[in-house]
Amino acid sequence: MYCKHCGSKNDHDAKFCEKCGKSLDTPHIAGSPHKNRNSLIPASSDKRVINAVLDYVFYFVFVFIIAFILGVLFVLFGLERIIDTEAYNLLLGSLLFVAYYVLSESLFAKSPAKFITKTTVMRTDGSKPKLKQIIGRTFARLIPFEFVSFFGHNPTGWHDRLSGTMVVGDSELHSLDDKTNKEDK
């Protein structure tokens, strides 16, 4: 069982998290598609690493395409001097980083890499994340050394824990949907 507060793995029969000490009791939340969030297993560290690497590749392709289009527009309008400034490049790179994750994860609950690894972002209660959680998750990725935060026994990163989200395998969601549908009948 994983703690909904810190994401640490605990014994199946534990009542309180061994790491943060908070209660592991998760009541059913009205409107949640998953009645038993405690049975969700976060995606493995291996999948998280693959997601990170692929997302950086896709992000750089995204930046190249947008920068190329903007470069052509700036040349057409005689603004090419702006393109050569370090501040412009830093601002554009930062805005596109935020846009890449916020657009993909708020629309699909997945980044492009998560489509490939068949993983999904969700709230810790098992429902689809809200826009403010996706925005918080994206900005938390900017914390220095955040990328190493999900290695080890706890496959949730700071960007997951700070935003109240987690990444799970799509097969995990389908099996929960099947269980929920059987319980409802």
Q: pLDDT (tens digit, 9 = 90+) per residue, 105-131?
A: 999 999 999 999 999 999 988 889 999
Helices and strands (DSSP H and E) totals, the chain: 7, 2
Give the integer Cα–Cα distance in Å for 141 and 157. 9
Determine the pLDDT at residue 14: 73
Q: 3-state class of 112 per DSSP?
A: helix
Q: Is residue 11 part of a domain?
A: no
Beta-strand (E) ranges in the chain? 119-123, 165-169
25 within domain boundaries: no
Question: Would you state the pLDDT for residue 39?
Answer: 62
Outline where DSSP puts E strands in 18-157.
Answer: 119-123
Give the Cα-Cα-Cα angle 129, 135, 136 (nearest 5 degrees): 90
Q: Is the pLDDT of residue 101 over 70?
A: yes
Q: Is residue 136 within a helix (H) or strand (E), and if so which, with residue range?
A: helix 131-140
Residue 15 lies in a domain: no
Q: Reduced to 3 states, what is the DSSP secondary structure of residue 36? A: coil
What per-residue confidence (pLDDT) applies to 52? Answer: 92
**Pick from 151, 161, 152, 101: nearest CA to 131:** 101
Judged against a pLDDT cut of 80, whether residue 154 lies above it is answered with no
Taking only Cα atoms into account, the Rg of the chain, rounded to an integer number of angstroms, comes to: 19
Residue found by looking up tokens 């026994």 in the block: 153
CA atoms within 13 A on the CB side of 26: 20
Model pLDDT, residue 143: 92
Mean pLDDT of 18-32: 55
Range of the domain at 92: 39-184
Q: Whole-angstrom Cα distance, residue 178 to residue 65?
A: 41
Structure-derived torsion over alpha carbons of residues 12, 158, 48, 16, reported in degrees to the nearest 10:
0
- Burial degree of 51 (CB within 10 A; 0-12, 13-18, 19+): buried
Is the per-residue pLDDT at 24 higher than 80?
no
Q: Answer whether residue 120 is part of any domain.
A: yes
If one counts the domains in the chain, the total is 1
More reliable by pLDDT, 25 or 141: 141
In a domain, 33, yes or no: no
Does 30 fall in a domain?
no
Report pLDDT for 46.
Answer: 87
Percent of the chain with pLDDT strictly greater than 90? 43
Task: Flag whether 17 is in a domain.
Answer: no
